[in-house]
Each structure stands twice: as C-alpha cells, then as structure tokens.
Chain A
C-alpha cells in the first residue's frame, strides 16, 4: 500500500501526538481546532490512552498539567478565545516546568471573532499571553506534513526541556488536506523525559544542573517533592528571598538560551544575496514562497526567511539572512504583530514594511508581489 495519505492538518496533529507518545488529552472543542479533539478521541482509546472533554478550557489545561505531573505526555488543542482561557495555567506549567503541548489553531479575533476564518492574530498572545517573565517555545508549521513533524518536535522539546510548547497553526493549515508521504516518519524515535535517579535523601526537585533542566521525580519512585506556582527555591518550596528569587528565575530563563541550538529552527530560501527578504510563517509563508519565485522572474532578488520556531525569535539567523536586504517585508494575517519583533533588529539601510490583512481571508502570492513592487518603486 502507498505511504501517501490525503491528510488534514488537524488530523496530522493528532496522529503525530500519538506517534510522539501522547497518552492524555484534555480539551474543550472549538472551531477551527475541533478535529484535533475528535481524532484524539478516536485514537487514544486504541493505545490505552485517556481522552477527556472537560467543562472548559481552564479545566482542560489544568487536567493536562496534572496528567503530565503524573508521568504522561499530554496535549490540549484550542483556538483564540480558548487560548486566552488557558493562559493562567500555561503560566503555571512554565513556572513549575511541567512538559505539555498546546495546539492553537488561530481564527479571526479579537474575542470570539470569526470562528471559521483564518487569522494569525495570536503571535503576541502565544509569547506574552500569560503574565510574568516566563520561557515558552512556539512552533509554526506551514504544511500538513510539517504539522506532523512540528507536533512531534513539540513533544520532544517539551519533554527534553520541561517547558510548555505551543504549536501555532492558522485555520488554513489546520483545515487544509494535502497528500503527505508518511514513510519518512516511520523511523522517528520520540524523546523521553529525564527522570530523577539520584539519591532520595535530600532530593532537590528544582536543582540547578549543568543543562539547566532538573530531572523530574517520577510518581511512585519515592521522591519527596513539592509543586507550586509560587516562586520556589531548588527545594520546590516557596521563597520570597530576593537572592533566591533572582537565581531561580534566571535559571528558568537561561534554560532556553542554553538550548538555543536545539530550539531554533528556520528555513531560508535564496536569502544569501537577497535585496528583498520576506519574513512569514504558516500559510502566509506558502504565499511568500510563490511570491519570491514570481519576483525573481521579474528580476528582483527576493528571498524568504521562515521562522519555524517563532518564539524565541531566531534573531541571529534573521540578522544573517537580511544582511544584504534593502527591504524586509512582513506579511501577516493581523494588524502587525511579528513586525514589532522584526523592527527591534532593524538596521540602517534596511526598511521594514508590513502587509496586513485581517478580513478573514488569506494573503495571496500576488498581493505580496504587488506590495514589494510598490515599495521598491516608491523608494
């Protein structure tokens, strides 16, 4: 039988979660993410996993954290308004370093917005939706195949680094059906959590280790542990001591910096000598990919910089990709969010221009081509 499947993005997400070892899903269905929950409800019982539809998004995020502390690989899926509700517990997962994967299939906003229409309005919410200085990883697939790949990777990063990972998908990619060759995923081995195996006497659940990732105590192994959203010392118990607070929060934030090579993931197309670099993710990057081919035909040196890992933003790769650029165009299906991050790295001689659409339709390749030509003509 052929290994090529006609697969929907949301279904790819569910299948990848199962392949990565996810055995617990709690959620509250919401368009356009509902097919993730639907598919998980079919797949999980078949692998002795647990699917639970909770009373709301807050409770489902709580259940995901609890199950992860209990030793399971866990996931939930939602969209804009539901993602807002998950933020409180998302911060708790970041602070307590509980691995979990959150799928956000973006729809039009603000508030309940346009439920069936695509948008990319959660760029900043994914980074800063929960309060306080917290580490988070956000991945942005641009195809059904990459939804599968990046969902698996989300589990691997989450388990390896003890950090919540958000997979940020737009409605177009979530509902898109593409022919995907599954053969390459057969041999992929998921990453497993680093469990504590040190002496039980004097165990420190949040000890500062060389790799900044403290091993987790496995329930039943007999370690004494304590989990709290309050700022906690290496012992796991709350502290208000300034020196300790500074030290433990620094360790939490340094963890991502230390593992930057593992976390960063970008794709660059023809950026080396590009005068025009388009920065885009998700379906908008697919449009940009088509657009650079059209621009190159018209004699314009155009390239595409695609941050697959959107947060932490891959600043050094971005700087290198745009070193020869006169124009950086940032098309996004929102009123200008990613561009705010890009502007932080703006240098003399390069103009940064946005192309924004928030009417519930995707940005088309020709729109990007037209915008580039318009800006170059007026320069």
Chain B
C-alpha cells in the first residue's frame, strides 16, 4: 500500500491528539502500520497543537513531510502546515475558526465541524467530527474499525457522543460531495 500522511491541527484542547490516536487504533485493527507524532505547547489549553500520522510508510521516515489529508480547526494552525501540503491534497478547514486557509495547489473544503459538534451536544467533539470527515473522504479504513476504535479509546460515558459525532462528520462529506468536488480521496 502506498504511504498516506494525515495531520490534525488546531489549538491545544481541541482533542487533536485523541483524534489521531483513535484513527491509529482503527488502522491497527486492520493490520496497517503507523507512525504517530505530535507537537503541543506546555500549556494544557491554547497554542498550536498538531497530531500527525504516517500510514504504511514507504521511506521509513516517521514524520510528515508532504501531507495528504489535513484538518485545520483553528486559524493559528494554518501557518505551521503551509509549504508541507502535497499538491492535490484534501484540506478541510472549520468554517468558524479558520478565515484564511493555507494557499496552494490543493483541494480546500470549508465545513461546519465545530458547529456540528455543538449540535451533537459538545463542542469538544469537533475532533471526532473531523475524524468522520477524514474517513468519509479518504476511505482510509472501514467505518466499523473506527467505531470499534472509539469504543476502545474514549471513556465509556462519552462513547455515544463520539459515535454520533463520527457519523455526523462522515455524513457532512457525503452530503456536500455533489456541491464540493474537493471532497474526494487524494490520488
């Protein structure tokens, strides 16, 4: 399988590390190999936070160099990824928190990720809404694996909330695909 590079980015406290952890866990269920790395500030809230996955690495280098799929949940995370986004990559930015998406030859889609989380009942579930969108676009793993990974990873009292957040994120992509041809897998 060819290598895929994924980044979840935003500000500290948005659950970006957890999003990557859930996806890594889902991919492990399917026997895929991953490298997961991260960067965050010493503060527990705020500041740039990013979590990266390299799936089925071909070169053996564990950090992202050319991103295929990028989630941006806060404007402050835009600059950090600029210049590392692969041509033709799928970039999904939140419609409330990102005013100026990164420039370049990639497919940018603006989706109501935070708003969808709010509708589900907790703004902090925007990370898992984003996961739904990533899986919806990329088909990187089966929905079933991801739902299982949510069960395995999040505390039991938050499982239902996160399952709903995932499904809504996934539906966001299918609902908008006709209007937004960018919402397709990276070739």
Task: Verify that A and B bind, or say they do not.
Answer: yes
Measured in the bound complex, the distance between the Cα atoms of B40 and A74 in whole Å is 31
B65 interface residue per 8 A CB criterion:
yes
Q: Does A287 contact B (CB under 8 A)?
A: yes
B60 neighbours in A (Cβ, 8 Å): 286, 289-290
Contacts of A364 in B (CB 8 A): 63, 65
> Provided the pairs A116-B42, A176-B62 are in contact, do residues A2 and B31 lie with their beta carbons within 8 angstroms?
yes
B174 on interface, CB distance cutoff 8 Å: no
* B34-A177 in contact (CB<8A): yes
Query: Chain B contact residues: over half helix, strand or loop, or mixed?
Result: loop
Choose among B32, B36, B42 the residue that contacts A177 (Cβ–Cβ < 8 A): B36
Given A4-B28, A289-B61: A175 and B37 within 8 A (CB)? Answer: yes
Contact of A290 with B59 in the complex, beta carbons under 8 Å: yes
Decide yes or no: A293 and B37 within 8 Å by CB, A2-B31, A4-B28, A365-B65 being known contacts: no
Query: Which B residues are CB-close (under 8 A) to A283?
Result: 62-63
Cα–Cα distance between A330 and B60 once the two chains are bound (Å): 20
Range class of the B interface residue count: 20 to 34
Task: Check if A176 sits within 8 Å of B28, measured CB to CB.
Answer: no
Contact A175 B34 (CB under 8 A): no
Find chain B residues with CB under 8 A from A179 CB.
Answer: 28, 32-35
Bound CA–CA A366/B65 (angstroms): 9
- B54-85 contacts to A, CB under 8 A, are 59-63, 65
Please, what's the 1-or-0 string for A130-172, where 1 marks a CB less than 8 Å from any CB in chain B? 0000000000000100000000000000000000000000001
Which residues of A lie under 8 Å from residue B96 when comparing CB positions? Answer: none
Known: A6-B25, A179-B34. A116 touches B61 (CB 8 A): no
Contact: A172 with B35, CB < 8 Å?
no
Q: With A and B bound together, what is the CA distance between A364 and B62 in angstroms?
A: 11
Q: State in angstroms the CA–CA spacing of A127 and B24 once bound together.
A: 37
User: Residue-by-residue, is B12-54 near A (CB-CB < 8 Å gives 1, otherwise 0)?
Assistant: 0000000001001100100111111111111000000000000
**In the complex, which residues of chain A have a beta carbon less than 8 angstroms from the beta carbon of B35?**
176-179
A177 CA to B52 CA, complexed, in Å:
10
Chain A residues near B40 (CB-CB < 8 A)? 116
Using a CB–CB cutoff of 8 Å, the interface residues on chain A facing chain B are 2, 4, 6, 31, 115-117, 143, 172, 175-179, 283, 286-287, 289-290, 293, 362, 364-366
A to B CB contacts below 8 Å, 24 in the list: A2-B31, A4-B31, A4-B33, A6-B28, A115-B42, A116-B40, A143-B62, A172-B63, A175-B37, A176-B35, A177-B21, A177-B24, A177-B36, A178-B34, A178-B62, A179-B35, A283-B62, A283-B63, A286-B61, A286-B63, A289-B61, A293-B59, A365-B59, A366-B65
In the A-B complex, list the 8 residue pairs whose CB atoms are closest, starting with the nearest: A177-B36, A179-B33, A290-B61, A290-B59, A115-B42, A178-B35, A6-B28, A176-B37
**Given contact pairs A179-B28, A283-B62, A290-B59, a sample of 20 additional A-B residue pairs in the complex whose CB atoms are under 8 Å apart:** A4-B28, A6-B36, A115-B42, A116-B39, A116-B40, A116-B42, A172-B37, A175-B38, A177-B21, A177-B24, A179-B34, A286-B62, A289-B60, A289-B61, A293-B59, A362-B63, A364-B65, A365-B59, A365-B61, A366-B65
